[in-house]
Amino acid sequence: MASTNPNDFKFIREIPEGDDLERHVCTDCGWIHYENPKIVVGSVVTYEDKFLLCRRAIEPRKGFWTLPAGFMEQKETTEEGAAREAWEEAEAKIIVEDLLAIYNVTHISQVQIMYRAHLEAPEYKPGKESLEVDLFAWDEIPWDQLAFPTVVWALHQYRDVKGQKHIAPFGNATGDLYKQSFEMLTR
């Protein structure tokens, strides 16, 4: 795949006219590459008392387990994006319910918008970005083999409000959950 790193191209950093911040400007053609935070859309997907997880076939964190989630595409809604990602990663048709959390992962300028969702039937199989897909009861979740701290956050926060109909969404984990979410993951 071609490089997506601006540093591999003839960009310089300068403040465009009428702007306040430095941007990547191409010295070949003048194109200004505005970088804005990217949206990840995903969901905690359940079937009965089990959670749908996907083992990643791609980097980063290849081989580790994650929730179905990925970069939002143009012209779709956040809910449509979450459903599309579940289909692409797990060939799972999900019913998106409501907003569970918004996570701000500022060091990579990512906003993760995570929904509660469920499967109508236990039908799924690995999409091309997954090695395996499976349903796990809470005690079966491979906690030390999860891909990202935000996966730990979403699963715990989901459990905290289980059965509640109208919830105020969570933000980034704090306190013990935040700390443990980094400690429990195998590096």
Looking at the Cβ atoms of 17 and 48, the one nearer to a second copy is 17
Burial of 107 (0-12, 13-18, 19+ CB in 10 A): exposed
Tokens of 127: 């999409």
Which of 49, 71, 137, 142 touches a second copy by CB under 8 A?
71
Q: Does 163 bind a second copy (CB under 8 A)?
A: no
Burial of 177 (0-12, 13-18, 19+ CB in 10 A): middle
Q: Does 33 bind a second copy (CB under 8 A)?
A: yes
Tokens of 38: 């990217």
Q: Does 57 bind a second copy (CB under 8 A)?
A: no
Looking at the Cβ atoms of 16 and 142, the one nearer to a second copy is 16
Cα 185 vs. chain centroid, distance in angstroms? 16
Q: How far apart are CB 92 and a second copy at their closest, in Å?
A: 18
> What distance in Å separates the CA atoms of residue 135 and residue 115, rounded to the nearest whole number?
17
Supply φ then ψ for residue 85, to 5 degrees.
Answer: -65, -40
Count of positions on this chain that bind a second copy (CB under 8 A): 48
Q: Does 102 bind a second copy (CB under 8 A)?
A: yes
Binding site for a second copy (CB under 8 A): 1-4, 6, 9-10, 16-19, 21, 25-26, 28-39, 71-79, 98-99, 102, 104, 106-107, 109, 111, 113, 166-169
